[in-house]
Amino acid sequence: MKTVRLPDGTDVPALGQGTWMMAEDPQRRGDEIAALRAGIDLGMTLIDTAEMYADGESERLVGEAVAGRRDDVFLVSKAYPQNASRSGLPRACEASLERLSTDRLDLYLLHWRGRVPLAETVEAMGRLVDAGKILRWGVSNFDTDDMEELVATGGKACATDQILYNLTRRGPEHDLLPWLAARRIPVMAYSPIEQGRLVADDGLCSLASELGVTPAQVALAWLLARDGVIAIPKAGTVEHVRENLAAADLALSPKVTARLDAMSPPPSCPVPLAML
In a domain, residue 207? The reply is no
With cut-offs at 50, 70 and 90, classify the pLDDT of residue 196: confident
Q: Of the residues 53, 108, 165, 190, which is catalytic?
A: 53
As a dihedral over the C-alpha atoms of residue 58, residue 59, residue 65, residue 71, rounded to 10 degrees, the angle is 150
Which amino acid is residue 12, in one-letter code? V
In a domain, residue 100? The reply is yes
Summarised one tens digit per residue, pLDDT across range 41-79 is: 999 999 999 999 999 999 999 999 999 999 999 999 999
| pTM of the predicted structure, to 2 decimals | 0.96
CATH (domain of 18) = 3.20.20.100
In a domain, residue 272? The reply is no
Give the whole-angstrom CA distance, residue 52 versus residue 223. 26
Domain count, the chain: 1
With cut-offs at 50, 70 and 90, classify the pLDDT of residue 1: confident
In a domain, residue 269? The reply is no
Average pLDDT, the chain: 97
What is the model's pLDDT at position 165?
A: 98
In a domain, residue 206? The reply is no
In a domain, residue 257? The reply is no
Which 8-state DSSP code applies to residue 272?
P
Distances in Å between the Cα of 212 and the Cα atoms of 135, 137, 187, 246 are 41, 40, 29, 12
Please answer whether residues 15 and 224 qualify as being in contact, where contact means their C-beta atoms are separated by less than 8 angstroms.
Answer: yes
Which residue range forms the structural domain that includes residue 158? 3-196+226-250
In a domain, residue 255? The reply is no
Which amino acid is residue 119, in one-letter code? A
Summarised one tens digit per residue, pLDDT across range 114-141 is: 999 999 999 999 999 999 999 999 999 9
Summarised one tens digit per residue, pLDDT across range 233-275 is: 999 999 999 999 999 999 999 999 999 999 999 999 999 999 9
Q: What helix, strand, coil percent values describe the chain, rounded to 5?
A: 45, 15, 40
- 108 as an active site residue: the answer is no
Which amino acid is residue 80, in one-letter code? Y
pLDDT > 70: what percent of the chain?
A: 100
231 has pLDDT over 90: yes
Instruction: Please enumerate in sequence order all residues whose Cβ is within 8 A of that of 78, keeping only pairs 6 or more positions apart, or say none.
Output: 48, 49, 50, 51, 52, 108, 109, 110, 111, 140, 162
DSSP-derived 3-state class of residue 197? helix
